[in-house]
A = this chain, B = another copy of it.
Amino acid sequence: MTAIGQSLPRKEDPRLLRGAGRFGDDLQRPGQLHARIVRAPQAHGVLRSVDVSMAVAAPGVVRVLTAADLPDDPRIPVRLTVQGIELTEHLQPVLARETVRYVGEPVAVVLAEDPYLAEDAAELVALDIDQLPVAMDADAGTVAAEFELGFGDTDAAFAEAEHVVELDFDVGRHSAVPLEPRTLLVEPDRATGALEVFGMTKVPVFNRGVLASMLDIDEARIRVHAMDAGGGFGVRGEFYPEDFLVAWLALHTGRPVKWTEDRAEHLVAVNHSRQQQHRISAAFAADGRLLGLRADVAHDNGAYCRTHGIIVPELTLAMLPGPYRVPAYRGRIAVVLTNKTPCGTYRAPGRFEGTVVREQLLDMAADQLGVDPVQLRRRNLLEPAELPHTRPMSTLGTDVVLDAADYPGLLDAAVAEAKRLGYYAQVEQSRAAGKRVGLGVAMFLEKSGLGPQETADVSVGTSGAVRVHSGGTSLGQGIETVLGQITADGLGVSAADVTVINGDTALQPFGAGSWASRSTVVGGGAVHEAALAVRERAIEVAARILEVAVADLTLHDGVVEVRGAPGQRVSLAEVARACQPGSAWLYAGEPAGLAARRRFEVAHMTYPYGAHLAVVELDEQTGGVRVLRYLVAYEVGRAINPELVRGQLIGGVAQGVGGALSEEFGYDESGQPQAVTFMDYLMPTAAEIPEVDVLVTENAPSADNPLGAKGAGEGGLTAAGAALANAVRNALGEAGSVARLPMTPARVRAMLAGEAG
């Protein structure tokens, strides 16, 4: 029985559930110093002076670092560049030099013998700032970049349209807020100037390269260890100013330096996301056929371009047409700098935003056209026969080629499942009982499996234990379990015999990291190929030992045996020992070890898809939205571990509920953030999260990877705003539209009162 497709228990759980996980803050090094970042208290101003004299004299302070101590003006480069877009002047400096641009911007670092002394001394750093006018929304900001994507003749499409539907929709500023704030420990080797960096779970190899380049040392002198992390969701593990500052201080003091941010810092320092203003319009023929789509988007990027550059705006535009047949499309986006925390990706970046806007528009159109919203979608979804479908656009450096799918089938299945589960009946009954309930349906297209490559090493030890060094990192998604199953399947061993070690740049120097729902697809592809290569090698060496032809051998359950003669066998452990240097079984010059490294490359992404159905009830008194029922239907190509796919989807819904209903980074007119504690930044709790029904289908395996897998990391979130907005709109009655997320009680009350949402 193959390990793939089984819901094996997570390899990660024993350590995490027993308190033996190792998070950044668990780590201590003797003699470590503690860093505290001094952050700008104003949103925009000229930094006249940074007076560190009192801080330097404070007890326990070892050093206070300001921009003046750094010879150049180090700025954090963009990880995901978009060709032809120049962002250099908007990159974030590691410390503000002449100007501060958002509340929370790093201005100085205090290094002290303990974290409390560091925090006390940080308050003694005196900043002299001449206030400048602030830009707090996209209309008032500076345009850093502006670009269009699209295809077809939208003018003609709109000219011939029978119906044109238009919508203005704002998505609010929110972000991932993982359970664990960031933490870093950098330990220098005084002898060699080498640095061991603990933290940075997401793209450790990339970050190692950035750090090496910014510190001007060879990357091999830096070893990054990704740690266990309390979730990533896109925001954690990118290269932030602190990643440079802590490493610089360790290198220059020769002592270990530790930094752990508190929640208030986290909420102003880590990437924000999502905030966009959309004007979208669609042209329909009389029969409901979608003829064209136009979108005009303003993306409020905060004060700087960080590592994601303008990839979220690009993804917004590239993914906005979704799974529909769109003959003509024109999307334009302005990336605007404002005096807020800079932005980056957050799980389903660009898709959460685009999907809510598009799907709300489709519900409005259904009303205008007088057709059922599901029918309108059904009519416009691409049919399986139309796939693969190339859209003449590219995003993340790859052409948009929608691969094997059955969008209508998935939608039908989702609706049928919701009916079977009583969603529709419940709505009717509740309405009959006088309750304000609504049902929303939203389709979405996801992307996953971003390349260009991932590398994996699979090796068998002399005890027969199998070890995998993959390029992904363990962010809670279960990558160790999934890659273990893939290895077990490819090699012919039990998944229990496989240990997956991720995120150590010394052990896997070519890792591309865990993001963009790529770990199973691309990371898994590499692991699969490496496991097959080890299998082949094991059989080759076993053939020497058993004195039979390679073709006569099979490998299963950790044993190579002669077909039809099961007594003639060697264990993988024996084969591994026969591969040790000095073994008589090795040929001269033949590489030792029972191991293989393989690189798996993909030209395109693979596009999973799905539908969300939500039933909500509005409280007319408070404006509160209660989510009564929730279904995610999702096509995953092939589920390596079905239970983990379910977990990913349910977790995504939880975050989606937050973004749709409550989470928002507010600012006052002077640029002071209004949500710097959990009293103001309203994360959903277990009370707000519904039971989630999940329907995972495996009807459209990807042809681009040997497993057929499509990523599962984001689809639980992608259409959550859309389904909930559609459900709320449905509950409100069919006039107008929801025009803004989050749908907070105050906004819902306003909508109930007939004001714009």
Chain A residues near B (Cβ < 8 Å): 14-15, 18, 20-22, 28-30, 189-192, 209, 212, 217-221, 451-453, 455, 459, 461-465, 467, 499, 506-507, 509-510, 512, 580-582, 588-589, 591-593, 597, 599, 601
Contacts and interface: CB of A to CB of B under 8 A. Distances in A.
B22 A189 contact: yes
Contacts of A220: 459, 461, 465, 467, 499
B592 A190 contact: no
Number of this chain's copies in the assembly equals 2
20 contacts: A15-B191, A15-B192, A18-B190, A21-B191, A28-B30, A218-B461, A218-B462, A218-B465, A218-B467, A221-B465, A221-B499, A452-B581, A455-B592, A509-B593, A510-B580, A510-B592, A512-B581, A512-B582, A588-B601, A591-B597
Contacts of A510: 580-581, 592-593
Contact of A506 (B14, B507, B593): B507
A499 B21 CA distance: 34
Nearest to A254: B20
A417 B476 CA distance: 72
A685 to B, nearest CB: 29
A339 to B, nearest CB: 36
A218 to B, nearest CB: 4
Contacts of A467: 218, 220
Contact of A20 (B18, B190, B217, B588): B190
A358 B20 CA distance: 61
Contact of A463 (B218, B453, B588): B218
A192 B499 contact: yes
A30 B27 CA distance: 8
A21 to B, nearest CB: 6
Given A15-B191, A455-B581, A463 B219 contact: yes
A453 B581 contact: yes
B599 A581 contact: yes
Contacts of A462: 209, 218-219
Contacts of A192: 15, 499
A334 B582 CA distance: 30
A636 B589 CA distance: 27
Top 4 A-B residue pairs of the complex, sorted by shortest distance between their CB atoms = A15-B191, A218-B465, A20-B190, A28-B30
A515 to B, nearest CB: 15
A679 B461 CA distance: 48
Contacts of A29: 30
Nearest to A589: B599
A221 B462 CA distance: 12
A153 to B, nearest CB: 35
Contacts of A191: 14-15, 20-22
Contacts of A219: 461-463
A526 to B, nearest CB: 10
Contacts of A21: 191
Contacts of A464: 218
Contacts of A582: 451-453, 512, 601
Contacts of A28: 30
A582 B464 CA distance: 33
Contact of A592 (B212, B591, B592, B599): B599
A593 B219 CA distance: 13
A315 to B, nearest CB: 20
A530 to B, nearest CB: 12
A212 B581 contact: no
Q: Which of A29, A212, A220, A512 has the most CB of B within 10 A?
A: A220
Contacts of A592: 455, 510, 599
Contacts of A581: 452-453, 455, 510, 512, 599
Nearest to A467: B220
Nearest to A11: B192
A589 B599 CA distance: 7
Contacts of A14: 191
